[in-house]
Amino acid sequence: MSLNPQDLIRLPYDDSLTSAGVTYACRSMHYSQSRNLRFSAYSVRRSVAAVAAELAFRRWLESEDVPYGLIQATPFTRPNHYTLTVGGRLLDVRSTLITSRQQIRRLRQDPSWLLQIEALIPVDQLASDFLSAGDPYVFVFIAGLETRTQADLQRALAAAQPLFLIAIPPGRAWRQIQPKRSLGQLVLRSNDLQSIDIELGGQLADRRLIFERLTLLPGQQTELPINLASLLYIHSTRPVVCNINVHSPTLSRTWSVGPLSWANIWIYGLEVILAGWCTKRAFQCRARFLPAGSRTRLGLRTRNDNRMLPVSQLRPIRELAERVDQR
């Protein structure tokens, strides 16, 4: 059985999906950076998209009166994350973000175009024992825009679009917890002519997350009232046009956060497409190997070794819902 364009479930996108994704991404950043040496705004936005995709799928299940469950992950793996269960099976939602304006137009004009796009799963994740052989993967695509450049950001500002600006410290010395060492009492100073409200996300020595809000006054030094063991990000509530200096006495370093240091992790979603599903067993048997560095039909290069199936070879999402109803 193969998918038809009519099997694709197209859902509207609203900002609450991005908002939920941003909240989760910030509160799980310590987990993300510990397993990703290329930790960046790009990877954070992908985390935002993943949460948005799963939440959209859950809302669709609710609209169809399909019962599902949530199992909380252990605090040492993916804190604040819940694993979805449907019909007594663990379920893994795999998300893909389509950001090319040309591809989004093509998708909206001809949904069958999506059927030839790759459904990807990294080889190491497919080999893990997180899912059993009969547990399903669900593949969800989000059509949405993001601000990767300063020009993109200025257009979003001019259109009064929502923003969520973060700056990520350079180098792992700021972000990784070291035994018996903290960053010391951080001292911040803003060169802006106006006060700036910021949030610092970090960890204490026992790896507990902490989010500290400060108001930086023009030209004045502000000491963080607690000692952080790691600093993961700074979030500003508005665009920053001057430098913010962050000094760590332990590192004997000052991080100068300039206007170009900030990235907007907000995703401007346009549409959610619930594409299809496949059991882990079927995916392992039928998927083709795609080595790291391969170019996909979306024009992106894979960062890891993957296995792939064309979306056309997945099973319809409604079939999964019907299976649950028949239990």
239-257 pLDDT, tens digit per residue, is 998 999 999 999 999 999 9
Report pLDDT for 207.
85
Rounded-to-integer distance, Cα 127 and Cα 105, Å: 36
Question: 82-86 and 68-72 as β-strands: parallel, antiparallel, unpaired?
Answer: antiparallel
Rounded-to-integer distance, Cα 28 and Cα 19, Å: 14
What does the buried/exposed string (b/e) look like for 277-288 if buried means 16 or more CB atoms within 10 Å of the residue's CB?
A: bbbbebbeeebe
- When pLDDT is averaged across residues 179-198 and rounded to a whole number, the result is 90
Rounded-to-integer distance, Cα 246 and Cα 189, Å: 7
Could you tell me the pLDDT band of residue 77, with boundaries at 50, 70 and 90? very low
* Amino acid making up residue 207: R
Could you tell me the pLDDT band of residue 75, with boundaries at 50, 70 and 90? very low
Inter-residue contact 58 to 68 (CB < 8 Å): yes
β strands within the chain, DSSP E: 9-12, 68-72, 82-86, 89-98, 118-122, 136-145, 165-167, 187-190, 196-203, 209-216, 221-223, 230-236, 244-248, 253-257, 263-264, 268-279, 288-290, 306-310
Rounded-to-integer distance, Cα 43 and Cα 32, Å: 8
> Helix or strand or coil: residue 259?
helix
Comparing C-alpha atoms, which of 92, 98, 89, 75 is closest to residue 28? 75
Report pLDDT for 236.
94
**Is the predicted pLDDT of residue 76 greater than 70, yes or no?**
no
- When pLDDT is averaged across residues 82-106 and rounded to a whole number, the result is 93
> Helix or strand or coil: residue 270?
strand
Report pLDDT for 208.
87
Inter-residue contact 11 to 274 (CB < 8 Å): yes
Report pLDDT for 180.
73
**Is the predicted pLDDT of residue 8 greater than 80, yes or no?**
yes
Least confident interval from 55-59, 259-263, 283-287, 322-326: 322-326
Tokens representing 232 are: 């993961």
**Is the predicted pLDDT of residue 327 greater than 70, yes or no?**
no
- When pLDDT is averaged across residues 165-192 and rounded to a whole number, the result is 89
**Is the predicted pLDDT of residue 111 greater than 50, yes or no?**
yes
Report pLDDT for 218.
93
**Is the predicted pLDDT of residue 150 greater than 90, yes or no?**
no
- When pLDDT is averaged across residues 86-96 and rounded to a whole number, the result is 93
| DSSP letter string, 53-115 | HHHHHHHHHHHTT--EEEEEPPTTTSTT-EEEEETTEEEEEEEEEE--HHHHHHHHH-GGGGG
Please name the CATH architecture into which domain 175-264 falls. Sandwich (2.60)
Could you tell me the pLDDT band of residue 37, with boundaries at 50, 70 and 90? very low
- When pLDDT is averaged across residues 38-49 and rounded to a whole number, the result is 86
Backbone φ/ψ region at 293: left (φ over 0), alpha (ψ -120 to 50), beta: left
Report pLDDT for 237.
87
- When pLDDT is averaged across residues 78-107 and rounded to a whole number, the result is 88
Give pTM, 2 decimals.
0.91
Inter-residue contact 230 to 176 (CB < 8 Å): yes
Calculate the average pLDDT of the chain: 90
- When pLDDT is averaged across residues 139-156 and rounded to a whole number, the result is 93
Could you tell me the pLDDT band of residue 322, with boundaries at 50, 70 and 90? confident
CATH 2.60.290 domain residues, the chain: 175-264
Of the two residues 234 and 171, the one the predictor is more confident about is: 234
